């Protein structure tokens, strides 16, 4: 279901003539609070991710248009459908950048992934957009703002693009952290914890997640705790519904339990990656 109005849109940080905006889809029903972001600099907008469901992708585009500056480009953080489906609905005219592995996966499996989601009906886009521009680890100045790109492997996804904005203290972590919501778990939990511990030592103080509200280091630490508890439960043999029930009881404050049903077939039953 799609809520009548968009859930919160936040200005996360202002510094000089740069503003960081976060747009979050609904936390209710079967939604998973997809968070997409805008770096607004003096003349341009840079977007991160394209939302999942068509109505939210359109709302995100409308919000960006309302700022009144040219959308220079979009960075796609990774290949999970809840981050790129919306690109086909609302951003087909914008240059899209992604890691080479993400582009290769979408070329190979993107159409299958779209077909696999036929039950979504009009909430899924009609067509697929494959990012054509490659981004690699390194630094770039865009419209006067310093961007630090990194490629993180084997966490919530095999290949993830992160974007640091060191002059703003903002780190766009996307699905390395789930802010206030249940995490999408993978077999890489131990390595993932190591990456989060590294983030705790960084100079960044705002961490933008792929799901939920902008986070601080406390939330990063809570994600480490969540992963540690989940690893221990899996180690004890908890699986599927028993695992879900255990995690919901252990973390009653976290929202968006719909995510369990998305990842559990992959974590416990070897379902396909898309
Ligand atoms: Zn996600």
- How far, in Å, from the CA of 220 to the mean position of ligand 1? 16
State the distance from the centre of ligand 1 to the C-alpha of 175, rounded, in angstroms.
Answer: 6
pLDDT in tens, 74-112: 999 999 999 999 999 999 999 999 999 999 999 999 999
CA of 2 to the centre of ligand 1 (A): 17
Please report, to the nearest 10 degrees, the dihedral formed by the alpha carbons of residues 222, 224, 227, 232 taken in order. Answer: -100
Residue 38 and residue 20 in contact, taking contact as beta carbons nearer than 8 Å = yes
Do the beta carbons of residue 66 and residue 107 sit within 8 Å? no
Greater pLDDT, 84 or 272: 84
Q: How far is the CA of 112 from the centre of ligand 1 (A)?
A: 18
How far, rounded to the nearest angstrom, does the alpha carbon of residue 10 sit from its chain's CA centroid? Answer: 16
Q: Distance, CA 13 to ligand 1 centroid (Å)?
A: 22
Ligand 1 centroid to Cα of residue 33, in Å, is 9
Beta strands in the chain (DSSP E): 9-15, 18-24, 35-40, 44-48, 70-75, 96-98, 133-134, 138-142, 145-153, 159-165, 170-179, 206-212
Q: How far is the CA of 211 from the centre of ligand 1 (A)?
A: 6
Q: How far is the CA of 85 from the centre of ligand 1 (A)?
A: 11
pLDDT band at 238 (very low <50, low <70, confident <90, very high): very high
> What is the CA(152)–ligand 1 centre distance, in A?
15
- The rounded Å distance from CA 16 to ligand 1 centre is 31
Distance 219 CA to ligand 1 centre (A): 17
Cα 233 to middle of ligand 1, angstroms: 23
The tokens of 26 are what? 């609904």
Distance CA 152, CA 164 (A): 13
Task: Please give the distance, rounded to the nearest whole angstrom, from the Cα atom of residue 78 to the centre of ligand 1.
Answer: 8
Ligand 1 mean position, distance from CA 206 (Å):
18
* Banded pLDDT at 221 (limits 50, 70, 90): very high
pLDDT band, residue 5 (cuts 50/70/90): very low
C-alpha 41 – ligand 1 centre gap (Å): 26
**Rounded distance, CA 88 to CA 100, Å?**
19
* Distance of CA 253 from the midpoint of ligand 1 (Å): 19
Evaluate if residue 8 carries a pLDDT over 90.
no
Sign, Cα dihedral of 202, 205, 206, 211: positive
Question: What predicted TM-score, i.e. pTM, was given to this entire model?
Answer: 0.94
Check residue 143 and give left, alpha or beta (phi > 0: left; psi -120 to 50: alpha): left
Q: From residue 48, give the alpha-carbon distance in Å to each of 7, 15, 39, 189, 250.
A: 18, 19, 8, 24, 32
pLDDT recorded at residue 7: 53
Q: How confident is the model at residue 118 (pLDDT cuts 50, 70, 90)?
A: confident
Beta strands 18-24 and 35-40 are antiparallel
Identify which of 156, 155, 138 has the alpha carbon closest to the alpha carbon of residue 147.
138
- Terminal CA-CA length for the chain: 21
Q: Which superfamily is assigned to 9-267 in CATH?
A: Ribonuclease Z/Hydroxyacylglutathione hydrolase-like (3.60.15.10)
Distance 83 CA to ligand 1 centre (A): 6
């Amino acid at each position: 279901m799609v809520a009548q109005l968009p859930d919160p849109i936040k200005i996360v940080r202002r510094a000089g003539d740069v503003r960081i905006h976060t747009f979050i889809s609904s936390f209710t029903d079967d939604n998973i609070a997809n968070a997409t972001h805008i770096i607004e600099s003096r003349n341009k907008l840079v977007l991160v991710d394209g939302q999942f469901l068509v109505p939210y992708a359109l709302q995100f585009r409308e919000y960006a248009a309302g700022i009144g500056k040219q959308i220079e480009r979009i960075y796609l953080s990774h290949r999970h459908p809840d981050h790129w489906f919306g690109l086909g609905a609302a951003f087909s005219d914008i240059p899209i950048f992604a890691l080479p592995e993400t582009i290769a996966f979408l070329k190979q499996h993107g159409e299958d992934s779209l077909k696999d989601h036929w039950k979504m009906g009009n909430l899924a886009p009609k067509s697929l957009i494959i990012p054509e521009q490659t981004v690699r680890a390194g630094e770039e100045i865009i419209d006067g703002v310093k961007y630090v790109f990194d490629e993180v492997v084997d966490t919530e996804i095999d290949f993830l693009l992160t974007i640091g904005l060191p002059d703003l203290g903002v780190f766009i972590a996307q699905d390395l952290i789930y802010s206030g919501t249940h995490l999408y778990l993978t077999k890489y939990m131990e390595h993932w914890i190591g990456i989060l511990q590294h983030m705790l030592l960084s100079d960044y103080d705002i961490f933008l997640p792929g799901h939920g509200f902008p986070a601080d280091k406390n939330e990063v630490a809570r994600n480490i705790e969540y992963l540690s508890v989940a690893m221990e439960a899996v180690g004890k043999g908890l699986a599927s519904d028993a695992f879900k029930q255990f995690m919901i009881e252990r973390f009653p404050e976290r929202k968006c339990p719909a995510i369990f049903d998305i990842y559990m077939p992959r974590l416990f039953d070897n379902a396909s990656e898309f």
